[in-house]
């Protein structure tokens, strides 16, 4: 169930509650990436301490290892990783784009050569749903086809039309095999459709209208943040968000930088995910507040800096990693110390940096929710 609790009077931002089998989510929210069932460098206890409400895992990667049978035997991903909060699973469609040289797309689905051992892996629409049932995710995504933004419009149109057909198949399979889900309290898994169409508004409109007719549980904006310009990204995101039902959650897939999320929230988008906070952390890139974070400051656009702690300028800086952070490790360790840890390749470096960035994104969403609640955003 999705229930809007407040609409902004100045933008299209909104607050809502999304009920799942593993708890209620307050929107807007950001999903931390746990591709293979783990957030790199953090334990589940860390995630809870940092205020992470939901994680995102990947169907393709969990199908490669440990596999569907193993996932069923261990009782699903919640039991496997010891996480009692909600999980969203990407369908594996993005890997059809990112692993382009190792896959083949047909009307049946996507067929991969494993990036680990070279064996052939089949991921049809139905197999994607079945694997997500074995995982027991609270929200599953339809299998879709993603094309590069520079691909010919005709190619993007074919991919969009196929994605719509795949959404219909996914819904049909889920309805016919609803007993295959590992989910508590007798609640069902939600299925989201993904609007495709590249940077072309006419294709986006056709995709959205077709998916809305299927009456799915939610709708995602896919196929962006894959190489298009920021101008096109924001234009298409806003155009697509305006097409989607007001009574269903809206999810921007794969975005993005903090200022982009602020913009997306003002478009009325509710859900986000991205590898940026964790991936950047592993390379020593930290998100640091420019002063005490407030809703008003978020609207000014200069509310943070991204700093590479590996740069020599930090070598003798005894100030906290981020004096305005509320992440414990960011306050209790100095920039000089974290610089040293990266310089000596100590594993603790990645943990501290990851905690800093994950907490930054969680706090960003908390401040956005306060801003909408108080009529500022």
Render each residue's pLDDT in the chain as its tens digit; 377 residues: 999 999 999 999 999 999 999 999 999 999 999 999 999 999 999 999 999 999 999 999 999 999 999 999 999 999 999 999 999 999 876 675 555 555 688 999 998 887 777 788 889 999 999 999 999 999 999 999 999 889 999 999 999 999 999 999 999 999 998 766 666 666 789 999 999 999 999 999 999 999 999 999 999 999 999 999 999 999 999 999 999 999 999 999 998 999 999 999 999 999 999 999 999 999 999 999 999 999 999 999 899 999 999 999 999 999 999 999 999 999 999 999 999 999 999 999 999 999 999 999 999 999 999 999 999 99
Environment class of 44 (CB within 10 Å of its CB; exposed 0-12, middle 13-18, buried 19+) = middle
The predicted structure's pLDDT at residue 97: 57
List active site positions.
90, 273
Distance CA 265, CA 83 (A): 27
Q: In the chain, which residues fall in CATH 3.20.20.105?
A: 2-274
Distance CA 41, CA 10 (A): 40
Alpha helices (H) in the chain, listed in sequence order: 44-49, 59-64, 68-73, 77-81, 95-98, 125-135, 153-176, 201-212, 230-243, 258-266, 276-282, 295-300, 328-332, 335-343, 347-373
* CA distances for 112 relative to 61, 104, 124, angstroms: 11, 6, 11
Helices and strands (H, E) in the chain, number of each type: 15, 16
Token duo for residue 119: 């064996």
Sign of CA dihedral 370, 19, 271, 244: negative
| Pair type for strands 120-124 and 109-113 | antiparallel
The predicted structure's pLDDT at residue 326: 97
The predicted structure's pLDDT at residue 114: 75
The predicted structure's pLDDT at residue 246: 98
Domain made up of 2-274: CATH architecture:
Alpha-Beta Barrel (3.20)
The predicted structure's pLDDT at residue 120: 85
Distance CA 75, CA 140 (A): 17
The predicted structure's pLDDT at residue 290: 97
The predicted structure's pLDDT at residue 94: 66
**Torsion, CA 246, CA 249, CA 253, CA 259, rounded to 10:** 70
């Amino acid at each position: 169930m999705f229930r809007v609790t407040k609409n902004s009077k100045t933008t299209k931002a909104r607050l809502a509650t999304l009920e799942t089998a593993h708890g209620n989510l307050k929107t807007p929210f950001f999903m931390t990436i746990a591709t293979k069932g783990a957030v790199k460098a953090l334990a589940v206890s860390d995630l809870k301490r940092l205020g992470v409400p939901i994680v995102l895992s990947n169907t393709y990667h969990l199908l490669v290892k440990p596999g569907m049978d193993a996932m069923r035997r261990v009782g699903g991903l919640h039991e496997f990783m010891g996480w009692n909060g909600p999980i969203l699973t990407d369908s594996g469609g993005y890997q059809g784009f990112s692993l382009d040289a190792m896959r083949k797309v047909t009307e049946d689905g996507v067929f991969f050569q494993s990036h680990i051992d070279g064996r052939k892996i089949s991921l049809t629409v139905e197999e994607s749903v079945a694997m997500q049932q074995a995982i027991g995710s609270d929200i599953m995504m339809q299998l879709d086809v993603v094309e590069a933004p520079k691909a010919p419009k005709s190619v993007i149109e074919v991919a969009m039309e196929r994605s719509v057909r795949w959404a219909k198949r996914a819904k049909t399979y889920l309805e016919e095999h609803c007993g295959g889900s590992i989910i508590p309290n007798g609640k069902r898994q939600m299925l989201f459709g993904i609007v495709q169409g590249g940077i072309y508004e006419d294709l986006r409109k056709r995709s959205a209208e077709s998916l809305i007719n299927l009456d799915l549980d939610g709708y995602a904006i896919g196929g962006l943040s894959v190489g298009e310009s920021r101008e096109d990204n924001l234009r298409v995101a806003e155009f697509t968000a305006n097409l989607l039902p007001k009574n269903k959650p809206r999810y921007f897939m794969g975005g993005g930088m903090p200022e982009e999320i602020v913009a997306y929230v003002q478009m009325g988008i509710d859900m986000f995910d991205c590898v940026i906070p964790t991936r950047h952390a592993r390379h020593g890139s930290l998100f640091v507040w420019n002063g005490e974070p407030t809703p008003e400051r978020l609207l000014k656009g200069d509310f943070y800096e991204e700093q590479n702690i590996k740069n020599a300028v930090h070598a003798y800086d005894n100030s906290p990693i981020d004096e305005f952070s509320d992440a414990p490790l960011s306050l209790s360790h100095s920039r000089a110390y974290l610089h040293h840890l990266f310089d000596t390749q100590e594993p603790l470096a990645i943990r501290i940096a990851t905690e800093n960035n994950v907490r930054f994104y969680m706090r960003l969403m908390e401040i956005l929710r306060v801003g909408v609640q108080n009529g500022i955003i």
